[in-house]
Copies of this chain bind each other. A is one copy, B any other.
Amino acid sequence: MYAVEVSDHIMIAHSFRGDVFGPAQRLHGATFAVSVAFLAEALDEHGIVVDIGRAFEMLKEVLAPLNYRNLDDVPQFKSVNTTTEFLTRYVFDGLAAAVKAGQLGRAPRDIAAIRITVAESPSARAWFEGTLW
């Protein structure tokens, strides 16, 4: 299996609900370094998994509504904890939909899976990997 992975980052504020979060129940923030890996069984006729430039753009588009925001104020996140894990899935869903809509410039069925990795600090990160089909 081949994979191509590109990275970007966002800077957000948020707070969590639940005693398990300790001091992170207070409004705080994070720089999230976000990577997306597109997995494919075969390269296309150009010898690539995806157009890396398009991959960067798609990642940036999915992250844009979050960047420089207080996630506590984003309506669709009102009832959830926007944990690092949650965000791996949110970004996955956005990119999976974009791939299926053909926005990646490659036949959607050629992309087997996507892995999203989100690092919140030098010593902690999360990832979500799922198949598309």
Chain A positions within 8 Å of B, measured between CB atoms, are 1-9, 11-14, 16-18, 20-24, 26-33, 43, 46-49, 51-53, 56, 67-70, 73, 80-86, 88-89, 105, 120-130
Closest Cβ–Cβ distance, residue A50 to chain B (whole Å): 9
- Please name all residues of chain B whose beta carbon is closer than 8 Å to the beta carbon of A4 when the two chains form the complex: 84-85, 124-126
Q: Which label, helix, strand, loop or mixed, suits the secondary structure of the A interface?
A: mixed
Copies per complex of this chain: 6
Which of B3, B20, B29, B122 interacts with A13 by CB under 8 Å? B29
Closest Cβ–Cβ distance, residue A47 to chain B (whole Å): 4
Whether the pair B121, A33 counts as a contact (CB closer than 8 A) is yes
- Please name all residues of chain B whose beta carbon is closer than 8 Å to the beta carbon of A9 when the two chains form the complex: 121-123
